[in-house]
Structure 1
Amino acid sequence: MSYAQKATCTFTVSSWSEEVYADIDGEGTTAGELYFPKRGLSRAAVGYTYSGDVEGTSTLVYLMGYRDGDDLVIGLERFEGSIGGQEGSCVLRHEAVHDATGVRGTATVVPGMGTGGLERLSGEAALEIAGHSETGYPLVLGYDLG
C-alpha cells in the first residue's frame, strides 16, 4: 500500500526484558544473563525511543517463536509522541522473522487505536535491521492522517 507522507526517524532500544515460557528441547544458548532456546517461546517487554520525524517513546510486547535460527516475532507497540508534527498516540502491529543476520518484517498502524492528532493515522514501515547498534536503527514510516 502507498501512503502520501513519509516520516524518517531513528529508534533506539531503551529497555529489554525477555523471559522464556516454553523450552521445547531444553537446548539453547546464553548471552549475558539471557537464555535463548533453540526451539521455544518467549515474551519480551521492550521500550523504544524515537527521534526525527517520529519523536517520542513506546512500550512494546513481543512474542517470539524460536525455531533454530529462523525465528518468528510478533508484537504490539503503543507509541506516544508526534509523527510529522502531529501529537498523540497510536498502536503498531509488528510481524517479522529474525535470524543470525538480522530482522526483517513490518510494523503496521492498528486502525481505531490512535489519539489526538494521530487518531486517524494509517501507515506502515518496513523493518530491516542488521546486527546490533548502540546508536539506533533507521525507520521510514509511510503514513496518512485520514
Structure 2
Amino acid sequence: MTTSSRARSHTATATFQVSSWTENPVYTRDDRTVEISGVQYPAHGFTRADVGYTYSGDLSGRGTLAYLIAYIEGAAAPTTGFEVFEGSIDGHEGTLVFRHDGTHDAVGVHERLTIVEGLGTGGLERMRGHADIEIAGHDDGGYPITVEYTIE
C-alpha cells in the first residue's frame, strides 16, 4: 500500500507505564537461571509475557502486548511481539497494532515498534509509522515514547 502524496510526517510524544506483567517460561535449555531486578529468569531460553500498558500524552489509551523474550546469559537477546493499542494519537481515535522487534541485555531494552498496516481501525486505520524505545532500569514515572507517523 502506498502513502498518498498528501500525507505529512508527524511526531507524537507520550509516556507509557506498565500496568500488568505476567511472564512464564516456554523453553529453557537447562535449569540454570539468572537474576534480573530481583526476579529469576532462564539463563538460556525464552518466555512469553502478557503485558498491559497505559499511555498518556499525545498517545492516550492502553496497550495489550503478547511478548516473546529470549534470554542468553551474557549477551544481547532478541525480543518480539505484537501490541494492540486502543485510544488516540494526536486526537485520532481507534486501534492499531505495533510490531515490537528488539533486544535486551543487562543494561536495558532497545526496540523498534512498527505500525502493522491493515490492522488499524477508526481514525488510526490509515496511520503508518514507527517508534524507537530505549529503556534502562525501572522508572515508576513511566518511559518516554515518540512515534513518527503519517496518516492519510
Q: TM-score normalised to the size of structure 2?
A: 0.90
Cα RMSD of the aligned pairs, angstroms, is 1.5
Which of 89, 94, 115 is residue 95 of structure 2 equivalent to?
89
Residue 53 of structure 1 corresponds to: 58
Instruction: Name the residue aligned to 2:73.
Output: 68
Contact preservation (8 Å) 2:34, 2:73: no
Give the counterpart letter for 2:79 in structure 1: V
Percent of matched pairs sharing the same residue: 47
Distance in 2 separating the partners of 1:104 and 1:59: 19
Equivalent residues of 2:79, 2:104 under 8 A apart: yes
Shift of 1:29: 2.9
Aligned residues: 144
22, 25, 36: which is aligned to 1:20? 25
Which of 101, 123, 135 does residue 129 from structure 1 map onto?
135
Partner Cα distance (1:50, 1:138) in 2? 10
The separation in 2 between residues aligned to 1:131 and 1:30, in whole angstroms, is: 14
Q: Which runs of 5+ in 1 are unaligned?
A: none
| Structure 2 unpaired stretches of 5+ | 1-7
- The Cα of 1:35 is off from its aligned counterpart by 3.1
CA contact 1:108–1:124 (8 Å) conserved in 2: yes
**Deviation (angstroms), 1:30:** 4.8
Residue type at the aligned position of 1:115 = T
Bigger shift: 118-127 or 26-35? 26-35
1 CA distance for matches of 2:149 and 2:135?
Answer: 20
CA distance in 1, matches of 2:71, 2:141: 26
TM-score (norm. length: structure 1): 0.94
**What is the rounded CA distance, in whole Å, between the counterparts of 2:118 and 2:109 in structure 1?**
27
Please give the per-residue CA displacement for 1:63-122, whole angstroms capped at 9, x wherever unaligned.
Answer: 011111422100100000000100000000000100111111200000000000000010
Match of 1:101 in 2: 107
Structure 1 runs, 4 residues or longer, greater than 2 Å off: 29-35
Question: Residue 87 of structure 2: SS of its match in structure 1?
Answer: strand
